[in-house]
Amino acid sequence: MTSTASPTTPPQLPIDGARLIERLSALASFGGSVKSGVARESLTPTELAARHWLAAHYATRPGYLVGVDAAANLHIRRLGQYDELPFVMTGSHIDTQPLGGWLDGAFGVMAGLEVFDALDDAGLRTRRSLQVVAWTNEEGSRFSPGLMGSQAYVQPQALAGYLPVCDARGESFGQARDTALHAFDQAADAGGWSCFAPEPAQPVHAYVEAHIEQGPVLEREGLALGIVEAIQGVRWYQVVVPGRCAHAGTTPLVDRDDAQAKAIALAHALLSHAAEAAQAGDDALRVTIGRWACQPDAINTIADRVSFTVDLRHPDAHVRDAFDRLLRRLAPDGSQITLLQDKTTTAFDPALVTLLGEAAERRGLAARRMVSGAFHDAMPLAGHAPTAMLFAPSLRGVSHHPEEHTHSADLVACTQVLADGLLALAEPMR
């Protein structure tokens, strides 16, 4: 990505905040509401209806094309003057957790579409085409893993591995994908839509994704916007600590091999290590023990097996490595440590991060650079094109829950910076 916007006259594109919130609220009615949360898992009839509602807004408007690719990602393309140039991409996902909030994913898609409407309002053409994508199965709650659509877009050979994956009712991703493609064709025929066939892994000039933070940092610091420069690395461990069953009443401590006591001592040491790092000022080290199970799980029996998980995140691989050594050094003899997942930190494009930061500054917004703690579709995209993200503050950091919320002013401000950034990237025709 190279910015061709003039440094003296950076483009600004006024958006319609009321329209954005109204259309976001309308999207929430597909599967729920703003207040009650949204149940709209990937490729369900509810999600397909929402996709077609989105596509229909643009599919008969001059200068727009709509299409679905082999992973059923929905693309809405606003044609630029030079459609053959690498295009500017934005978007996110509209699938939710089984019962999620109204903003996780949906905001990024609706923010991108609001940019289209703002461009239309302003009668502005761009040199490069712009494309809003609603990625398939970001959440991963219906089909595992998440990020299927964006991963298959940048790495088409991954799709074959996803097609046999089944949901809890036994329907495969391949079947659901076929249903979605067929439903799209029917809707397109019925609506007289202008369509195109999006190819995966096409050259992309830049990818910018707007999303809610899903964490408490921006709210706590009183900021309106996060300019995301990386997605932190994560390791998932499963730790199994062995012991020997014995009677809680008859077995002196000195005779015990208590798996629970050993696991608690290890977990306490790991959490203390993280707490010390936080006290020393490193707020990026995140250690979570989310699962815990013991056997035989009886009140008066000493446990012979405890299993727990560790979710470890830090942007710096050295810090993750140091934690890994600590875990292996402290684990009691006979423990099994399984690395369930190991994702390195995804660094975003520095020039694009700078461009977005300057756009925020010009709008007078209190913003900060930050690292995303959660995964997003921008993670696979970053391996394919210059990529960055914008975060809107999440109230109390809540997401994946009906109480997920962001003040309208913050959603509007984030969309405004997205609009200014996309316009600069797509290069306005003057």
DSSP state of 24: H
Nearest distance from C-beta of residue 212 to a second copy, angstroms = 10
Q: Which is closer to a second copy, CB of 170 or CB of 281?
A: 281
Nearest distance from C-beta of residue 288 to a second copy, angstroms = 4
Q: Which is closer to a second copy, CB of 16 or CB of 219?
A: 219
Nearest distance from C-beta of residue 334 to a second copy, angstroms = 17
Q: Which is closer to a second copy, CB of 213 or CB of 358?
A: 213
Q: Which is closer to a second copy, CB of 201 or CB of 246?
A: 246
Residue 384 known to bind ligand: no
Residue with tokens 């082999």: 70
Residue 316 known to bind ligand: no
Nearest distance from C-beta of residue 392 to a second copy, angstroms = 13
Q: Which amino acid, one-letter code, is at 54?
A: L
Nearest distance from C-beta of residue 291 to a second copy, angstroms = 5
- DSSP β-ladder status, 225-231 and 367-372: parallel
Q: Which is closer to a second copy, CB of 104 or CB of 427?
A: 104
Nearest distance from C-beta of residue 399 to a second copy, angstroms = 6
Nearest distance from C-beta of residue 222 to a second copy, angstroms = 14
Q: Which is closer to a second copy, CB of 203 or CB of 290?
A: 290
The encoded tokens of residue 44 equal: 């369900």
DSSP, residue by residue, 282-304: -TT-EEE---EEEES--TTEE-S
Q: Which is closer to a second copy, CB of 70 or CB of 271?
A: 271
Nearest distance from C-beta of residue 65 to a second copy, angstroms = 35
Q: Which is closer to a second copy, CB of 285 or CB of 352?
A: 285
The encoded tokens of residue 121 equal: 């309002």
Chain-centroid distance of CA 154 in Å reads 16
Is residue 11 a contact partner of residue 428, using CB atoms and an 8 Å limit? yes
Residue 139 known to bind ligand: yes
- What is the distance between the alpha carbons of residues 231 and 378, in angstroms, rounded to a whole number? 9
Question: How many angstroms separate the first and last alpha carbons of the chain?
Answer: 21
Residue 282 known to bind ligand: no
- What is the distance between the alpha carbons of residues 245 and 251, in angstroms, rounded to a whole number? 10
Is residue 294 a contact partner of residue 225, using CB atoms and an 8 Å limit? no
* Residues in a beta bridge with 131: 77, 89
With b meaning 16 or more CB within 10 Å and e meaning fewer, what string describes 74-104?
Answer: bbbbbbbeeeebebbbbbbbbbbbebbbbbb
With b meaning 16 or more CB within 10 Å and e meaning fewer, what string describes 384-409?
Answer: bbbbbbbbbbbbebbbbebebbbeee
Which stretches of the chain bind a second copy, using CB under 8 A?
213-217, 220, 232, 234, 236, 245-255, 258, 260-261, 264-265, 267-268, 271, 274-275, 278, 283-294, 297-303, 306, 309, 311, 313, 340, 372-375, 394, 397-401
- What is the distance between the alpha carbons of residues 243 and 257, in angstroms, rounded to a whole number? 5
Residue 400 known to bind ligand: yes
Nearest distance from C-beta of residue 398 to a second copy, angstroms = 7
- What is the distance between the alpha carbons of residues 251 and 302, in angstroms, rounded to a whole number? 9
Nearest distance from C-beta of residue 320 to a second copy, angstroms = 13
Q: Which is closer to a second copy, CB of 173 or CB of 237?
A: 237
The encoded tokens of residue 139 equal: 């959440």
Element spanning 53, H or E: helix 45-58
Is residue 80 a contact partner of residue 129, using CB atoms and an 8 Å limit? yes
Helices (H), 223-365: 259-279, 317-330, 350-362
Q: Which is closer to a second copy, CB of 217 or CB of 417?
A: 217
The encoded tokens of residue 347 equal: 């660094």
**Binding annotation for Zn(2+):** 93, 104, 139, 211, 400
**Binding annotation:** 93, 104, 139, 211, 400
